[in-house]
Amino acid sequence: MTGKKRKLGLALGAGALRGLCHLGFLQVLKDEGITADYVAGTSIGAVIGSLYAAGIDLKTLADIAKHLRLRHLVDPVFPRQGLLQGKNIMEILQLFLRDITFAELQIPLAVVATDLASGREVVFREGPVVEAVRASISIPGIFTPLRQGRQVLVDGALVNRVPISTVRAMGAEKVIAVSINPSFCPDRLNNVAEIILQSFALLQTQVVADKLQEADLVIEPRVGDINPASLDDAERCIEEGAEAARRFLPQIKALLNSPAPQRW
């Protein structure tokens, strides 16, 4: 059984703008000739995961991210269901993904969202990719929800912050989880977005710790001190993701060549 490459699944977790570390992590894997067989993403993990699965050049994305400012992303609306409409982010995604469907991606992808009406996890694996990602990033109170029939779709982090179980169900024999620690301890909370994100962090810390045990390898970039609602440290986020990948390269390579466990 040894010496045979195992089907690799990547579970890219939520983390707001700190999730740009996924770009650095994936770039190091690419430089090492390591390609995922399956990808599952939640929230910012769904954004980066979809671009990766579509074969978009990661260095180009990193260069763009370093020059992004919040004004490029925000589109305020009268706050009935959220502060932001999400149209600007959709337009940026469509520049890269256009109208691509899940079936047209180079790597199988799953995108995780939450149905507020039922409280259930919703996993997208077919249809337009951009629409699924828009649902997955809809942090309640910040982005307006995406409505599909009776479903009120919001951020997948509410039910599955790091979608390990999702990518395992896709067929991954070995799962690497890239988890962005939800804790953030600012000197002060300056705005509504920061208050909402900090509230989510407090609620999710213990739940995330329990679920991470389902992964074969957990990688946590050192971005816990970075404001998840700011793009000021985008370059550092990307580099921290790359540094984390380099730090774990021996374990990643060993994992891919180790026997697949029997799961009953």
As to burial, measured by CB atoms within 10 angstroms (0-12 exposed, 13-18 middle, 19+ buried), residue 16 is buried
Q: Is 232 noted as a catalytic residue in this protein? A: no
| Cα separation, 70 vs 73, whole angstroms | 5
Q: Is 118 noted as a catalytic residue in this protein? A: no
| Cα separation, 201 vs 242, whole angstroms | 24
* DSSP assigned state of 199: H
Asked whether 121 and 159 are in contact (CB, 8 A), the reply is yes
Which of 37, 50, 115, 155 is catalytic? The answer is 155
| Cα separation, 16 vs 254, whole angstroms | 30
Contacts of 264 (CB under 8 A, 6+ apart): none
Which of 37, 43, 115, 179 is catalytic? The answer is 43
Amino acid present at 35? T
Phi and psi at 220, nearest 5°, equal -120, 100
Q: Which residues pair with 27 in a beta bridge?
A: none
3-state DSSP helix/strand/coil percent for the chain, to nearest 5?
Answer: 45, 20, 40
Left (φ > 0), alpha (ψ -120 to 50) or beta: where does 74 sit?
Answer: beta
> Catalytic residues, which ones?
43, 155
